[in-house]
Each structure stands twice: as structure tokens, then as C-alpha cells.
Amino acid sequence: MSDPDDALDRLGWDAGWAETFAPFAAEGLRPARVVAVHRETSIVRDRSGDRPVSVSGAFRFAALGHADFPTVGDWVAVDGNDLVGAILPRRAVFKRIVVDATRRGGHGDEQVMASNIDVALLVAGLDNDFNLHRIERYLAIAWSSSVTPVVVLNKADLTDDVDGRLVAVQAIAPGVATVAVSARTGAGMEGLRVHLRPGATAAILGSSGVGKSTLVNVLLGEERQDTAEVRGSDSRGRHTTTHRELFELPGGALLVDTPGIRALEVLGAEEGVDAAFDDVVDLAASCRFSNCRHDGEPGCAVQAALADGSLGAERLAGHQKLERELARAARETDPRARSAQLRTWKIIHKSVNEQMRRKYGGDT
């Protein structure tokens, strides 16, 4: 007879999780991993198989927002009534902002998309939709969560310049494992599987139309996820994954598939952005002024690099775009940041009004 713990080991259970779970085991609770989430119900897998569970009343009362509820990849403590009493502390998460239109200003709440991730498969299409800025974005997300990124360039059968695209990715992500594959033909898949070790959990990220669902089906060895044709004009497709789910792969790794994400908010990703753009950050450290905006200030090392060609304008634009997104995310989730922004705009408006009165007289 097989060891009952083998079922948990296959899900990524280890000595660290067992130590963390010890107080809950003493209360008679059992460990389980969340493999799918459907509105109010989660599907967990434990030594006995899969079962639906709900959170307990005490759990729901204590929860402060979306991020406090179970998500795919969580390890949870479940009682004899199939109620979740606790979530074990998460090791790594991908999260986004959920904007609540009913709240004043449409302020957002954090939502954890997937947890306890070891590897992020950042999927891009080698077709008309190939976009280095999008890869930079996902690299920032991975590094901000302390997750190892692997860039997967899918649809290698649709381009004659695979080597050129690999070089372009390595230029923005030196040292990051990059694999060119064709999920449709199976080419290059063995090179991807070496990054999916038994017991490790990978998350697959990428915008619609890059072939994520086809890739999942190939890794699973069966047609589990629905796929859809993409538009020929821009290689975009409709989202075919409608919920997040954790799959066990034949080689022993685990894989989280997420709905197509194009506008994933980068939350708490300052370190991830710095890692994704370490060349820009290093140059900025040499600017004469510490608050240099790289927009005409004297002694700007970034502008000097642009002038001599050692830094590309597109590279700087990608960094600035993510920096603006970080600022926006902070305003939406941090009341102090929102208040600071409001104070800034009040000062600007007051200054404009005073200038208008001096120039034209009377009220404005």
C-alpha cells in the first residue's frame, strides 16, 4: 500500500508545510490544496481526493477583502464538515487590483490570482502579436513575487526568425531561461519540460491569443482546456480559460492556468520592475540629481545613454510605463497615496486660479 502522504507530496507538500501545519493538525484539521475556485466554493485535493469546501463563518467574519479568501495554489486547513478554517501563509503570490465600481472613485481591492508558485511560464506568441514590452511586464510580475521566470516563445512554426526573437528577449532578460516552442506541432516541448520539476508549481501567464490553453493541453497530454482560433489581422484571440485551476502534469510538476490577463496590475512590484530594468536603474543611479526624471535635466546619465545608443528609447519607455502603473496601483490601494495625490492637485488648481485672477481679474 502506498504512503498516504504521497498524495500530498505530489501536490508540493514538504517539511516546511508540515511544520507550519502542526498547530492545525493538533486541532484535528487536515491539510488540503486548493485546485480550483468557483465563486463561493473551492475545490480542494487531499489524501482522499477532490471535494468542494466553503469557508467557515469565523473565517468569513475575519476576512478583510478578496485577498483573504482561498485561491488556487493555497494550502488550507479543513475540518470534518469540509469547512476551511485557515490558509497557511503563502510563499509567493500573483495578485491584481479588482476595481469596485460601487465605491467612491472606483477604488480597488487586492485579489490573489494564484499562490505558492515556484516557476512562472511567461508565454508570448512568435506571430503578429510578439511584444517585448509585454514580456518586460510579466518579468516584473515574476520577480516581484520572487518566482523564477521562464520565457516561453510559442508558435515557433509561424516565424522564420526564431533566433532573432530569442536574441531580442535575451537583450531585455539576460540570464532568464528562454525556450522557443510550438504547442501545435510539439517542437521544443522537451526543452520546456526540463524547467518543470516534480512537486514544483508553475503558473502560466500571457495575454489572449498566445496559445496558453493549447500549451496546457500539450503539457497535460490530453485535451483538457478549450481553445479558440485567433484573428489573422492581429493574432489576438478570445479568452478560453474561464477560471483558475491547478493541474498535475504527467512528469510530476503542477501547473496553474489563469484566464487571459492583459491588464494585470503590478502590485508591490517595485523590486520586480527594478530587476526587469536593471540597466535603466543602474544608469539612473549615475544621474546628477537623485530625483532626475530623465527629461532634459543636466547631468542625466539616462539621456546620455540614449544619445550614444547604449540605451534604446523603447527600453526607457517600457520602464516609465510600468513606473506609472505602479503609482496608479498605489493610489488605488493606499489611502495615503490617494490623499497625497489629491493634495497635489488642489495645490495645482489653486496656483492656476491665482494666475488667472492676476491676469484677468475677478473670480475664475
Q: 119, 179 in Cβ contact below 8 A?
A: no
**CATH among 3.40.50.1950, 3.40.50.740, 2.102.10.10, 2.40.50.140 for 5-89:** 2.40.50.140
Task: Tell me what percent of the chain is helix, strand and coil, each rounded to the nearest 5.
Answer: 40, 20, 40
Tens of pLDDT, residue by residue, the chain (364 residues) = 445 568 899 999 999 999 999 999 999 999 999 999 987 789 999 999 999 999 999 999 998 888 899 999 999 999 999 999 999 999 988 877 665 544 444 455 677 889 999 999 999 999 877 888 888 888 888 888 889 999 999 999 999 899 999 999 998 888 899 999 999 999 999 999 999 999 999 999 887 788 888 999 999 987 665 544 544 444 444 444 446 789 999 999 999 987 644 444 545 555 567 666 777 888 888 888 888 888 888 889 888 888 888 888 878 887 777 777 766 666 655 555 555 555 655 665 666 667 667 766 665 5
What pLDDT sits at residue 149? 94
Which residue(s) pair with 84 in the sheet? 55, 78
Tell me, rounded to whole angstroms, the distance of Cα 149 from its chain centroid: 11
> What would the DSSP string read from start to end of 142-176?
HHHTT-EEEEEEE-GGG-S-HHHHHHHHHHHSTT-
β pairing state of 119-125 and 108-115: unpaired
Establish whether domains 5-89 and 277-333 are of one fold. no
The amino acid occupying position 219 is: L
φ, ψ for residue 242, nearest 5 deg: -105, -10
In the chain, count of helices (H) and strands (E)? 12, 13
Three-state SS at 122? strand
Give the pLDDT score at 215. Answer: 92
pLDDT of residue 232: 47
pLDDT one-digit tens code per residue, 59-75 = 999 988 888 999 999 99
CATH match for 112-257 among 3.40.640.10, 3.40.50.1950, 3.40.50.1700, 3.40.50.300: 3.40.50.300
3 state DSSP class of 16: helix
Q: Are strands 75-78 and 83-87 parallel, antiparallel or unpaired?
A: antiparallel
Q: What is the CA radius of gyration of the chain?
A: 24
Going from N- to C-terminal start, the domains of the chain cover 5-89, 112-257, 277-333, 337-364
In CATH, what class is 277-333? mainly alpha
Q: What phi and psi values does residue 178 have, to the nearest 5 degrees?
A: -130, 130
- Give the model confidence (pLDDT) of 243-282 as tens digits: 678 999 999 999 998 764 444 454 555 556 766 677 788 8
Nearest to 141, CA basis, from 190, 238, 76, 207: 207
List alpha helices for the chain, DSSP H. Answer: 5-9, 15-26, 57-62, 132-144, 162-172, 189-193, 212-220, 270-276, 278-284, 301-308, 313-333, 335-360
User: What is the rounded end-to-end Cα distance, in angstroms, of the chain?
Assistant: 84
Backbone angles phi, psi at 99, to 5 degrees: -85, 130
| Per-residue model confidence (pLDDT) at position 199 | 93
Q: What is the pLDDT of residue 262?
A: 42
**Three-state secondary structure call for residue 313:** helix
C-alpha grid cell, residue 352: 492656476
Q: Which residue has the cell 508545510?
A: 17
Give yes or no for a contact between 209 and 158, defined as CB atoms under 8 angstroms apart.
Answer: no
CB 255 within 8 A of CB 249: yes
Residues 6+ apart with CB under 8 A from 98: 66, 108, 109, 110, 111
